[in-house]
Structure 1
Amino acid sequence: MLVVGGGLVGLTTALVLRHHGIDVALVEKRATTSPQPKARRFDMRSLEVFREMGLAATVHEAARDLAHHDHMASGRTLAESEQLPLWRPGGGAPMEISPERPCLIAQDVLEPVLRRAAEDTGADVRFRTALTGFEQDADGVLADLHDLAADRRSRVRAAYLVAADGARSPVRAALGIERSGRGAIGDPNVNVYFRADLADVVRGREFNLCQIRHPESPGALASVDGRYRWVFMAPGGEVDRDWPALLRTALGVPAPDLEVLSVLPWQAEMLVADRYSAGRVHLAGDAAHVMPPYAAAGANTGITDAHNLGWKLAAVLSGAATPALLDSYDVERRAADWFAADQSSRRSQSFGGEPDPTLAHPFVLAADGFQYPAGAFAGGPDEGGEVEPVTDFAPVGRVGARVPHRWLDPDRTVSTVDLGGPGWALLVSDDPQRWQRNGLPAHRLDADFLAPGEALLLRPDDVVAWRGTDPAAPAVVLDELLNP
């Protein structure tokens, strides 16, 4: 397997493949991981993916600087800002919908964690190595690589190629895959990444994001490490401005040690690739979709792309499934990513206004509550199955959706989400021996979403693939799903 791109999604893809026992090489033309904070909020579902690979605790430890910065704040300046109360929906706190809590961690902190983990698992990670071209045939992909450090060129053959090479993806361009969507959303913006010791200013009013309403320097201030590193998001596309003066105005304090590290213009966009797969090449992350940042969904959907694609590639490469299984990657993830991108776009257009009651419940996004209409499962919505609500978060184990989280032990250490991956599993409400004919691990649950005598077939990515009462059905369904 060859993965192109050493960012969050490429590294997660390599980790998922190694988790399934697949040899993988990853190439990245940059010398190192991202020097920019970029993505900062990783939702519960992303942490569940890391949890499956034994990395959630490591990620939370790396995120300790922002562990208590989950509030929003608002004020004329930072010095005058007030911390806003946490949003709490009816029905409970985040720990009741997932075994993991969301995590604030800057991308330039998380990526090195993932890189080390991928290398530790045996992935062949090659930075300063560029993909310069590729060809594919019925048996695999022939890739041209350029080792930029040694100025050495080589050709490698891989069964499949995963392109996680960013929003301007050269691989997507080479495949001629177009993108559709709303295009540009709103006005241009500028991100000013700067350093200043503001610990005394924010103490007791810690935040994730602070809206600054000063008429001369409006914008939003994001915490990167809660003390020294910050990103100021300013409206307008003009880069050449007196940023130190504007930042001090927005902060409302002298900040004598303030140092501007970078100034990056950006434009929110909503674009989704018209195809996620072309032969033996598959797109993931920003190569497949870009969306406004206001729902913090971009990086999180990319991580879920990797989780979905990884087990399917592993099943095909191990001989457990035919290549036709991979068609479900496009069917499932393009629908899910379009949904997330559309939700992000709608949130950006109503940012700061009255809440839109037709928007998806926030936990539907944060806990990957989107239900695939069709794909590698039996009895989903397109086949007349029960439809998961969107404006409410009410998971009950519907086919095509993530299994509901329920704690399985008094110490609250094992969740239903832990029962899937890297293999398949059965969740049953009665005697597991009755279901053993399927050759799958059967877990007896006293769960509110299982009726007497009922079972759920759980995929390696925690998605419900079938539910019913016939003990002979899961084996038949599994064979049909792996060999469509």
Structure 2
Amino acid sequence: MVGGGLVGLTTALVLRHHGVEVTLVEKRATTSPQPKARRFHVRSLEIFRGLGLAEVVREAARDLAEHDHMATGHTLAEARQLPLWQPSGSGDPVEISPELPCLVAQDVMEPVLRQAAEDAGARVRFQTELTSFAQDADGVSAELHDHRTGEDTALRAAFVVAADGARSPVRSALGIDRSGRGAIGDPSVNVYFHADLSDVVRGREFNLCKLEHPALPGALASVDGRYRWVFMTGGEVERDWPALLRTALGVPAPDLEVRSVLPWQAEMLVADRYSDGRVHLAGDAAHVMPPFAALGANTGIADAHNLGWKLAAVLSGAAAPALLDSYDAERRAAGWFTADQSSRRTWDATTAPDPTLADPFVLAAGAFQYPAGAFAGDLDDVEPVTEFAPAGRIATRIPHRWLDTDLSTLDIAGPGWALAVADDPQRWAADGIPAHRLDADFLAPGEGLLIRPDDVIAWRGTDPTTPATVREKLLAG
């Protein structure tokens, strides 16, 4: 495992959940010192739930637990809190997940995941750089450099997962090109600063506040809701940031201290292939996109969830190596979809939504239908994008329904396969696939769903003898 950020650490956790031995190397000395991504969607929380980490993540997110709103104003002192987004249409609100989304800064989240990975038995080696690698029919030979000791060592691995960032040295070494829109919009600047603004925002707490002061228009992001903030704007890097920030805030903020000023450029680029032999790309190494609602980080977490069970199945001998072809087929399509969606969106409180864009719940729940991959049956029943209407379609995440007080349909698969049936479960359970009764509006009497370890529906039908055969065919690639 190359890369010790959100996606690399999540990949290590998923692999350990499946019993796979993992060595993670990261050339940095520590996890990210920057807040960066802060929003984790319900799909990511569902994945952490399956790993037994949802409550740990929520504890890390406690500082921003009530900061779901957006806000806008001439200055922060004058800003008003906006109402929460609500889905259009009539009827009762849809409970889309057993988990709620949460806000937690990346520099808080990564240490939590690192500790969890180490506790799960992953070998986590920071200040260790992958300097070269070569793959053959049986595995990958890697050369590592320990920046603490200066020692060079060799490591032999069955597979390599590269979550080594947007400038991925592994992707470059493989000669994998990227396609997409490239640079989007003008260059931006993130100013990370400390100031006690708790009295200013009390009663108007927010995730993101759009400020319209002509001296410094931009958006202010809460990192902990009190002391830590990131201001996102354009223009030159070398400016009198303390004076400009105080102007945009509209308050004296005598304790304001700028911690870093980072220039960046929004881009939309997706790797032309996610896999090359025994090496697989995930996260920013595979896709970069504008930071709309942290879609990049959440898409990377879903990459890890998809790839982890497949690697585990191949390593255990339960699946043929050809199963791994489905990783590229599924996740590259998903990566392009989310990168396209994020690049087409800008947040503006006064602009009407584009009716051709995906419903926000579709993005939050990872409700994307894979066009090809590890599933059986045709895709004549197409999952909609502009509305959130999950119906247990093949190649989609199973819709959330409560089976019991604390048991969701999203809890029954992983690390193994499972069945959800509108029938007597005893008629279906066979060959180690547990069956669960599901009385849901989207299932006809006698129907069943075969659910993969990553909560994706692999088959739908009425023949109880078919699921075991389908699973074996899919595992055979």
Tell me which interval the TM-score lies in, with the shorter structure as reference length. over 0.9
Whole-angstrom distance in 2 between the partners of 1:351 and 1:273: 33
Secondary structure (helix, strand or coil) at the match of 2:428 reads: helix
CA gap 1:292/1:477 in 2 versus in 1, 3 angstroms: same
Whole-angstrom distance in 2 between the partners of 1:394 and 1:235: 38
Corresponding letter in the other structure for 1:479: E
**Which residue matches 2:31?**
33
1:130 aligns with 2:123: no
Q: Taking every aligned residue pair, what percent have the same amino acid on both sides? A: 77
**Which residue matches 1:363?**
361
Corresponding letter in the other structure for 1:374: A
Structure 1, gaps ≥5 residues long: none
1:265 aligns with 2:244: no
- The answer to whether the 8 Å contact 1:380/1:400 transfers is no
Whole-angstrom distance in 2 between the partners of 1:482 and 1:136: 23
Q: 1:387 aligns with which of 356, 372, 382?
A: 382
Secondary structure (helix, strand or coil) at the match of 1:282 reads: strand
Q: What's the Cα RMSD here?
A: 1.3
Secondary structure (helix, strand or coil) at the match of 1:297 reads: helix
- The answer to whether the 8 Å contact 2:403/2:437 transfers is no
**Which residue matches 1:416?**
409
Whole-angstrom distance in 1 between the partners of 2:399 and 2:377: 18
Deviations 1:60-101 (A, max 9, x none): 011000000000000000000000000111468987100000
Whole-angstrom distance in 1 between the partners of 2:12 and 2:93: 28
Q: 2:466 aligns with which of 473, 477, 480?
A: 473
Secondary structure (helix, strand or coil) at the match of 2:113 reads: helix
Q: How many residues of Structure 1 are paired with residues of Structure 2 in the alignment?
A: 476
1:352, distance to aligned residue in structure 2 (A): 5.7
Corresponding letter in the other structure for 1:57: E
CA gap 1:212/1:126 in 2 versus in 1, 3 angstroms: same
Secondary structure (helix, strand or coil) at the match of 1:467 reads: strand
- The answer to whether the 8 Å contact 2:39/2:293 transfers is no
Whole-angstrom distance in 2 between the partners of 1:56 and 1:434: 34
- More off after superposition, 348-357 vs 94-103: 348-357
1:351, distance to aligned residue in structure 2 (A): 8.2
1:457 aligns with 2:455: no
- The answer to whether the 8 Å contact 1:94/1:101 transfers is no
Whole-angstrom distance in 1 between the partners of 2:357 and 2:410: 26
Secondary structure (helix, strand or coil) at the match of 1:234 reads: strand
Whole-angstrom distance in 1 between the partners of 2:393 and 2:180: 29
Whole-angstrom distance in 2 between the partners of 1:47 and 1:422: 16
**Which residue matches 2:400?**
405
1:64 aligns with 2:62: yes
Corresponding letter in the other structure for 1:443: H
**Which residue matches 1:202?**
201
1:27, distance to aligned residue in structure 2 (A): 0.2
Whole-angstrom distance in 2 between the partners of 1:92 and 1:39: 33
> Could you tell me the TM-score, scaled by structure 2's length?
0.98
Q: 1:328 aligns with which of 326, 335, 339?
A: 326
**Which residue matches 1:43?**
41
1:354, distance to aligned residue in structure 2 (A): 2.5
**Which residue matches 1:153?**
152
CA gap 1:88/1:349 in 2 versus in 1, 3 angstroms: closer
Q: 2:306 aligns with which of 289, 295, 308?
A: 308
Whole-angstrom distance in 2 between the partners of 1:77 and 1:26: 44
Corresponding letter in the other structure for 1:441: P
- More off after superposition, 50-59 vs 443-452: 443-452
Deviations 1:246-282 (A, max 9, x none): 1000100000000000000011000000000000000
1:424, distance to aligned residue in structure 2 (A): 0.1
- The answer to whether the 8 Å contact 2:174/2:276 transfers is yes
- The answer to whether the 8 Å contact 1:39/1:106 transfers is yes
Whole-angstrom distance in 1 between the partners of 2:62 and 2:142: 40
Whole-angstrom distance in 2 between the partners of 1:177 and 1:372: 22
1:432, distance to aligned residue in structure 2 (A): 1.2
Secondary structure (helix, strand or coil) at the match of 1:96 reads: coil
Alignment of 1:162-311 (within 5 A): 162-236=161-235, 238-311=236-309
1:296, distance to aligned residue in structure 2 (A): 2.2
1:456, distance to aligned residue in structure 2 (A): 0.1
Corresponding letter in the other structure for 1:133: S
Corresponding letter in the other structure for 2:390: P
